[in-house]
Structure 1
Amino acid sequence: MKQNLINVDVLGDVIGAELPNKLRFAPIAEVDTKLESVAGDTIVRLKYAYIGDAETVAEGEQIPLADMKNSKQEVVIGKAGKGTSLTDEDVKRMGEGVINEAKNQITLAIKNKIDTDCYNALTTTKVVVDNSKSAISYGSIVDARGKFDEEDDEPSVLFISPSQKTAIM
């Protein structure tokens, strides 16, 4: 006999709260949690162009102004989901653990879908890849940052193989 053993609103809130922290691309992707449209709708977002580098200004001179230019970008809202079903017999036999596992599996399924979509979006982005065979090190990271003439407070993103993560920790 099937019954509603899980409050899907509560479970959805729990998954929604945990999910952003589990996404691999969350630190470099904009996560908009305020969408009010429905899947399939097309929304228009403003996309701003860079105003250019700052210029040297002499004492008492006026700071040059630049017009902010924008273009419109159409975005189709998508919907992703995954579900599972549990019977009252499942819960009686396996206890609360089966409900937690269902939550974990649903969270993982949605996380993987979002991460895959983000990765696929990167395929249309210019990415510099270093195919050298040398091991990553602190020195190689400093050298790479130097190539971009970035100041220490400039944000940057470095993607490395998980097998090399311990080499820089």
Structure 2
Amino acid sequence: MSVTKLNDIINPQVMGDMIEAKTVALCKLTPYAKVDTTLQGTAGDTKTVPSWNYVGDAEDFDPEQGNEMQTAKLTASSTTFTIKCAGKSISIYQTAINSGLGNPIGQAETQLSKSIAGKVDNDVLDAAYTGTNIYAASTLAAVSYDGIVDANAKFEDEEDGIEKVMFINPAQEATLLKDDDFLSADKFTSGVAVNGAIGKIAGCWIKKSKKVKLIQYEKAEDGTITIVAENGTESSTAKKLSTVQPYCQAKLGVGDKVNSVAAASQYYLCPIIKLQPDNPETEYTEDELPALTIFLKKDTQVDHEWFPKAQRHDITAAKYYGVALTNDAKIVLAKFKK
């Protein structure tokens, strides 16, 4: 006689594979970051990412004059960060499983997938928002063909046809769809459009994400509003981090100061990401890093604990990684009026 065992219902290895697959499918921004696995299976939890500075074009030189070439100094900036753990745990009582109502195990799998995907996407967007290449029209305007063209010009591309993707907030979609220059995804041959893109305009594939921020606060040393702890009291001059951070580009901490952006001047900050090397015929190398990189230490791992005295199952999913802006020149942050 076949007997269904607990491990047949909750198998961490199988569930881990399923959660990882669902996480990849659910991520909106993560597919546009390169995944670096060099830290997997190695000691250490820190990563230093170099960014080499250009030494300049070559100069004329006549060796017959007996002179020597002037040497150029090779310089680089770098970013060092520590790998972190993103995790979520769900408790399910045995009575919920026994009841036969719904599928609590399947729902836990789905919810954990959404949770990990959301966290990784948040970190990718946070890294993108550290970019310094900002486009803002002299007069703030809603998203449009002209605005995207001007934002693209910030890349100063020397090659034509380099693929880019721009993320917009869903609230901006209607404005773009009404633009005469917008080409919806159904106008393109199958397999040509970027996966999940709603269309293309001014050389940019357009994707929607609710994570694209509507900027209502801006960090300032002389700001009139101070960030206080979550157990603090809010007022016109004090706001909790959870109140401000979703609407501010800069990463904030308790004690930081911000200014409130007037309603008429609030704007969406839309990342435009260059998807290819400057020369489409080459692959990314250390000399030309991609815009964003996810340094993966350990992929999604699922663990299951059974507490018989409480008749409770705890299912935990965790992922170890770090995200960095590895090429500032390949991201433009475009400001478009609300």
Q: What TM-score, normalized to structure 2?
A: 0.38
Structure 1 counterpart of 2:145: 138
Q: Which runs of 5+ in 2 are unaligned?
A: 1-5, 59-71, 177-181, 185-338
**CA shift for structure 1 position 119:** 2.8
Distance of 1:165 and 1:72 partners within structure 2: 37
Q: Does residue 45 of structure 2 align to residue 42 of structure 1?
A: yes
Work out whether residues 55 and 74 of structure 2, in 8 Å CA contact, stay in contact via their aligned partners in 1: no
**CA shift for structure 1 position 82:** 0.9
**CA shift for structure 1 position 91:** 2.3
Distance of 1:96 and 1:38 partners within structure 2: 42
Distance of 1:93 and 1:38 partners within structure 2: 45
Structure 2 counterpart of 1:161: 169
**CA shift for structure 1 position 53:** 7.8
**Counterpart among 8, 16, 19 of residue 15 in structure 1:** 19
List aligned pairs for 1:20-35, cutoff 5 A. Answer: 20-33=24-37, 35=39
Distance 1:146 1:70, change over 3 A: closer
What percent identity do the matched residue pairs reach? 30
**CA shift for structure 1 position 103:** 1.0
Q: Does residue 122 of structure 2 align to residue 119 of structure 1?
A: no
Distance of 2:55 and 2:103 partners within structure 1: 55
Distance 1:156 1:99, change over 3 A: same
Distance of 2:52 and 2:96 partners within structure 1: 55
Work out whether residues 81 and 110 of structure 1, in 8 Å CA contact, stay in contact via their aligned partners in 2: yes
Instruction: Write out per-residue CA displacement over residues 17-52 of structure 1, whole angstroms, 9 at most, x where no aligned residue.
Output: 22223223214323235642589x433445242557
* Structure with larger RCO (C-alpha < 8 A, sep 6+): 2
Distance of 1:127 and 1:143 partners within structure 2: 13
SS at match of 1:159: strand
Structure 1 counterpart of 2:232: none
Distance of 1:133 and 1:73 partners within structure 2: 32
Distance 1:77 1:141, change over 3 A: same
Q: Which runs of 5+ in 1 are unaligned?
A: 56-65
**CA shift for structure 1 position 16:** 1.3
List aligned pairs for 1:88-99, cutoff 5 A. Answer: 88-95=94-101, 97-99=103-105
SS at match of 1:85: strand
Work out whether residues 42 and 74 of structure 1, in 8 Å CA contact, stay in contact via their aligned partners in 2: no
Work out whether residues 45 and 72 of structure 1, in 8 Å CA contact, stay in contact via their aligned partners in 2: yes
Distance 1:126 1:48, change over 3 A: closer
**CA shift for structure 1 position 111:** 1.7
Distance 1:100 1:136, change over 3 A: same
Work out whether residues 38 and 77 of structure 1, in 8 Å CA contact, stay in contact via their aligned partners in 2: no
Number of residues paired by the alignment? 157
Distance of 1:68 and 1:155 partners within structure 2: 30
SS at match of 2:32: coil
Distance 1:94 1:52, change over 3 A: farther
**Residue type of the partner of 1:28?**
Y
Compute the RMSD of aligned alpha carbons: 3.6
